[in-house]
Amino acid sequence: MGLSIIRKILNYQFGDNVGDKIIEKYGEKIKIEKSKKTGRIRRIYIDDKLFGTIEPTTGFVILTFYGGLIVKELLEFPKYRIIVKDEAIKFIREGKSVFNKFVENLDENILPRDIVLIVDKNDNLLAIGESLLSGKEIKDFKIGVAAKVKNV
């Protein structure tokens, strides 16, 4: 039952049948940790490495860096990605937020609070973030924070 819930969450959150693809590829290697109090899914492990945690208020998966690497391979470029300029890479690796002026390109379909993959121009994963603005707003605004870094 837990795998079907994870499949549905990931399919809804990232589209492109990401949940189906992950279950198909890693099915037996997936372990689920549930809350002892509520019985709800809290953490997802693949190959004994933390893939992500379920955000209790939204029900979405907050990916770890490891989880981001897996999801990135399943999504076409530039889906759910914010591509940053070279001068921002150092700061992002330190866990600093992504500012609009350092965004080189992105998926314009990003919505506020989406979990995004922060990458360089060669599509190397730098961090996992949470968008604060829509893709259109990030592109149009020259000042402000585009995404908050969650995991590096």
Compute CA distances 5 → 43, 49, 113, 151, whole Å.
Answer: 13, 19, 21, 23
Categorize the per-residue pLDDT at 2 as very low, low, confident or very high, splitting at 50, 70 and 90: confident
pLDDT tens digits along 46-63? 999 999 999 999 999 999
Amino acid at site 98: V
Length of the chain as a residue count: 152
Residue 108 CA from chain centroid, whole number: 15
Average pLDDT over residues 8-33: 96
| Full set of structural domains in the chain with CATH | 2-74 (3.10.450.90), 81-151 (2.30.130.10)
pLDDT surpasses 80 at 1: no
Angle at alpha carbon of residue 27, lines to 5 and 37, rounded to 5°: 45
Are 27 and 7 in contact by the 8 Å Cβ rule? The answer is no
Nearest Cα neighbor of 35 from 43, 27, 45 is 43
Q: How far is CA 3 from CA 22, 24, 28, 87, 150, in A?
A: 10, 11, 10, 40, 24
| 67-83: pLDDT as tens digits | 999 999 999 999 999 99
Question: Is the pTM above the cut of 0.85?
Answer: yes
Residue 108's pLDDT is: 96
What is the residue whose two structure tokens read 């506020």?
Answer: 112
pLDDT digits (tens, 9 = 90+) for 81-140: 999 999 999 999 999 999 999 999 999 999 999 999 999 999 999 999 999 999 999 999
